[in-house]
Amino acid sequence: MGPGLYRYRGAQVVSEPSEESSTPAEAPKPGHEPLDWIAEIRGLAWMLLAVLGFHSLVAKPFYIPSISMMPNLLVGDRLVVSKFPYGWNWASASFHVLPRKTWRVMPGTPQYGDIVIVVPRGRTDDLIKRVVALPGDRIAVRNGQIVLNGKPIPRLVVPPVQLPADDALLCHERTPGYYCYEDFTA
């Protein structure tokens, strides 16, 4: 040990210089420990794998960009959708390296009125839709009215509204015969 002063359990000890140590050993600067790049890269790889696994197998966040699901889902709403209620399939993966397949693991059947995420064939974007028919149902659209198994599905009736002087009511046709109204303040 070289010359110096150090504390040991509250007592000060002074050592004498020895002939062996002519230069003091360089101590690392406090707070500047060498960075282990391999450990950092390994940690980032595990983090990326965990995020992709969660995103592909457990849940996925979504943003509502349009008014097609109003009044239940509004423009700008954010939601986290569970991946497993109806089973995992090709569309569950966060990214696709294999061609589209029709397999499904632990399949489940949605119920009437469920809101589901679908990826139409030939497209890559996700669509948020409501289930109106199940396997085996007969469905038709007559005069803009959905008819399920011979019975019309009731429509949402918008009650009469008196608009203030500075408001405007805009309408657009989502599905033939179905109209969506939005209230805009001028």
- Which of 29, 68, 82, 83 is catalytic? The answer is 68
- Which of 21, 94, 101, 129 is catalytic? The answer is 129
Indicate if 68 belongs to the active site: yes
Indicate if 21 belongs to the active site: no
Give the whole-angstrom CA distance, residue 56 versus residue 166. 47
| Structure tokens, 54 | 């969660």
From first CA to last CA, the distance across the chain in angstroms is 82
Catalytically active residues are 68, 129
